[in-house]
Amino acid sequence: MQELKIPALRNGTVIDHLPSKVTFKVMRMLQLRDYEHTITVAINLPSIKIGKKGIIKISDRYLTKEEVNKVAILAPKATVSIIKDYNIKEKIRVKFPDIIENIVKCSNPKCITNNEDVTTHFKMVSEKPLMIRCHYCERSMSREDITLK
């Protein structure tokens, strides 16, 4: 029944199982606001897996592997499906990226990136538990510390 609420996608990408509260952040992170084709967004849909979920359907655009992995920064349980002619051609499980550039803010107020106009740059140092390290100040951050720029 849920599918009826959102128009089916002919060609494009579906990002599913997003926590509702990060759905718009994912939109911002993937810079979808200026996208000229149709984007359908829904939040607070019931989900057995995560309670309430969000979904983004982007028509006529296929996310790159890098973009898919960016989703994992905010939504590690998200799934990304590539749709062609109304059929799922590929279902991709998101994977946290090894390198994160200019998306995440360093949690260290004394980091140069929070004081001068510098592109932030993090490296993943451990996947489980997730730990990323700032390229500049070397501060390690866990998932709870991660906020977007």
Which residue ranges make up the site for another protein (CB under 8 A)? Answer: 106, 108, 110-113, 115-118, 126, 131, 134-140
CB 104 to another protein: min, Å: 14
Q: Which is nearer to another protein, 72 or 118 (CB)?
A: 118
User: By C-beta, is 79 or 120 nearer to another protein?
Assistant: 120
Q: Which of 113, 109, 135 is nearest to 124 (CA)?
A: 135
CA dihedral of 35, 21, 97, 80, whole degrees rounded to 10: -60
Q: Which is nearer to another protein, 17 or 105 (CB)?
A: 105
Query: What tokens does 147 get?
Result: 């906020």
Q: Between 81 and 140, whose beta carbon lies closer to another protein?
A: 140
CB of 125 to another protein, least distance (A): 9
Nearest to 12 by CA among 77, 83, 97: 83
Three-class SS of 52-106: EEEEEEEECCCCCHHHHHHHHHHCCCCEEEEEECCEEEEEEECCCCCEEECCEEC
Q: Shortest approach of another protein to residue 136 CB, angstroms?
A: 3
Shortest distance, CB of residue 142 to another protein, whole angstroms?
9
Task: Give 80 or 111: the residue with its C-beta nearer to another protein.
Answer: 111
Compute how many other C-beta atoms are within 10 angstroms of the C-beta atom of residue 122.
26
**Smallest gap, in angstroms, from Cβ of residue 69 to another protein?**
23
